[in-house]
A and B are shown apart, each in its own frame.
Chain A
């Protein structure tokens, strides 16, 4: 016997809370979700396959709880207490390009599904396959959600402004070199 797999749960608490907070954008709601998840995980531990990704398993329980509550409420929970956008500590951006407060404000405007996909893949480092399994959707769906989330963030953060300039430069280069703009 390698012991009770539930002993491992406590190690995942910080990640579980971070995921809950990203999804709900609300500290009180996030902690309620974590609490529900712990109770469910405890009683459903027999459905956990030893040796598989426990973090992904816990995230699945949490997100299912969240979406089932959202269905019942008939709407998304808002960032009512502003915890996500305001109360977290502010660290200076080393590239000076994006201020974290701006980034958070943009991030909370994504849909739940986009935030979830982006956090799992972009921040938590899940493979597309693991994220797809966690969310119970196809790999292609996760990829498209991540791409849309990034595109929406770029738009909200006006990162597309620079693109116009770069394309102009490329067109100028094409004229100078007498060639056509690169096909891709």
Chain B
């Protein structure tokens, strides 16, 4: 029983640390290059729908 509790506690400790690492990554600012890319993809679509794509 003690071993199972220990395992559970370890898993919780690991997941807590994991979430902290993950949240640090989520908090990072998304670089403009990705927003620019999305804008570019959208613009290409708009061009494509109004006429023949180049």
What residues make up the interface of A, taking CB atoms closer than 8 Å to B? 6, 9-10, 13-15, 17-18, 21-22, 31, 34-35, 38-39, 42, 88-89, 91, 93, 95, 97-98, 100, 103-104, 107, 118-119, 122-124, 150, 153-154, 159, 162-163, 166-167, 169-170, 182, 184
Contact = CB atoms under 8 A, between A and B. Distances in A.
Contacts of A123: 15, 18-19, 21-22
A107 B18 contact: yes
Contacts, number: 96
Contacts of B26: 14-15, 18
A2 B49 CA distance: 19
B10 A184 contact: no
Determine the interface band of chain B, counting residues with CB < 8 A from chain A: 20 to 34
Nearest to B1: A182
Chain B interface SS verdict (over half): helix
Contacts of B24: 88-89, 91
A14 to B, nearest CB: 5
Given A14-B27, A100-B17, 12 more contacts: A10-B35, A13-B30, A14-B26, A18-B25, A21-B25, A22-B22, A98-B17, A119-B22, A122-B15, A123-B15, A163-B6, A184-B1
